[in-house]
Amino acid sequence: MRTKIDISKKFNLDKVSFDLSSEINESAKAVVEDHEKRLSFGQGVDGRPMAKLKPLTIQGKRKQGYAKPRVPLYATGTLKDVKITKKASKTNQEARIMPDETRREIGAFHQEGGGKLPKREWFGVTEKVEERLLKRMGRQIERH
């Protein structure tokens, strides 16, 4: 018989008296850079190639003159170019990264694989970047 045990702990960062805003903002930049690099090679958030485009889609992108017409989610640049929409400060230690507002709906369809669109998990943090950022953040926390 399996038993589910919850050992989670909630941390209230509002009570933290030291400033990690610089590290949070640097982390946000690293996530954006990783995202743009991955998408330029057609890789999902898991680091593997995304589902291939159909030949008709590739042909249409070629006719429109898009760069890299074979690379999923790259042609218009609106899903590739995510932005830091909120920077962390000492009083609010949170950063936000979002795609262009006009592409959020189609981005959600690709992320979840809704409708007739194939699932292409494009938005998130790769394990490699997450590990590097957590180590850096951990060192800073230990210093304080």
Instruction: Quickly state the pLDDT bin for 58 (edges 50, 70, 90).
Output: very high
Average pLDDT over every residue of 77-103: 88
SS (H, E, C) 96-115: EEECCHHHHHHHHHHHHCCC
Instruction: Quickly state the pLDDT bin for 13 (edges 50, 70, 90).
Output: low
Average pLDDT over every residue of 87-105: 88
Average pLDDT over every residue of 7-22: 70
**Which of 31-35, 66-70, 100-104, 128-132 is predicted least confidently?**
100-104
The three-state secondary structure class of 27 is: helix
Average pLDDT over every residue of 2-29: 73
Task: Tell me which of 19 and 55 has the higher pLDDT.
Answer: 55
Instruction: Quickly state the pLDDT bin for 8 (edges 50, 70, 90).
Output: low
pLDDT value at 60 more than 70: yes
Are 91 and 107 within 8 A, CB to CB?
no
Average pLDDT over every residue of 81-105: 89
Q: Cα–Cα–Cα angle for 54, 42, 117, nearest 5°?
A: 40
- DSSP annotation of 43: B
Model pTM score: 0.77
pLDDT value at 12 more than 80: no
Instruction: Quickly state the pLDDT bin for 104 (edges 50, 70, 90).
Output: confident
